[in-house]
Structure formats: structure tokens, C-alpha cells
């Protein structure tokens, strides 16, 4: 087997362009969504705390601007 031809730049570039042209499949999208949902469920309390602190800060700053 001719390994130089198999691993040549031209063949490698063609394979990369072929992969890019196919795009993202449904399975990949579902896996990404599963990972995101599991991370949200895992860090639910921390996310809630950060959002509550942000809204408290925004509300306080808005009251300062109005007064």
C-alpha cells in the first residue's frame, strides 16, 4: 500500500472538505441538547442563585437611577 499517497495533502484536504460539506446531523444535535440539559439540571441551584443576584442588582441600580 502506498502510504505517501494515502496521507498526501490533497487527499487529506478532500476528506476534510467532504466532512464539512455533510454538516451536522440530527444525532449530533440531540447529543448536544442532552449534554446541555444535563448540565442545567446538575447546576440548577447555582444558576438560579446567579440569576437572582443579577436581577436584584439590576433592580437596585434601576431604583438608584430613577431616584
Backbone CA torsion sign across 39, 43, 46, 47: positive
The Cα 58–Cα 63 span in angstroms is: 9
Q: Give pLDDT, residue 26.
A: 86
Q: What is the pLDDT of residue 24?
A: 76
- H/E segment holding residue 24: none
Residue 4 C-alpha cell reads as 505517501
Q: Which three cell numbers stand for residue 36?
A: 446541555
Give the pLDDT score at 3. 56
| pLDDT value of position 55 | 93
Q: Is-contact 20 12, C-beta < 8 A?
A: no
The pTM score is 0.51
Compute mean pLDDT per 10 residues along the chain, 67 residues long, and list them.
57 58 79 96 96 93 82
What is the model's pLDDT at position 16?
A: 57
Amino acid at each position: 500500500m502506498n502510504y505517501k499517497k494515502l496521507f498526501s495533502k490533497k487527499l487529506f484536504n478532500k476528506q476534510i472538505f467532504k466532512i464539512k460539506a455533510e454538516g451536522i446531523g440530527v444525532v449530533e444535535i440531540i447529543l448536544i441538547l442532552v449534554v446541555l440539559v444535563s448540565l442545567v439540571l446538575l447546576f440548577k441551584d447555582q444558576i438560579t442563585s446567579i440569576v437572582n443576584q443579577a436581577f436584584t442588582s439590576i433592580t437596585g441600580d434601576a431604583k438608584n437611577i430613577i431616584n
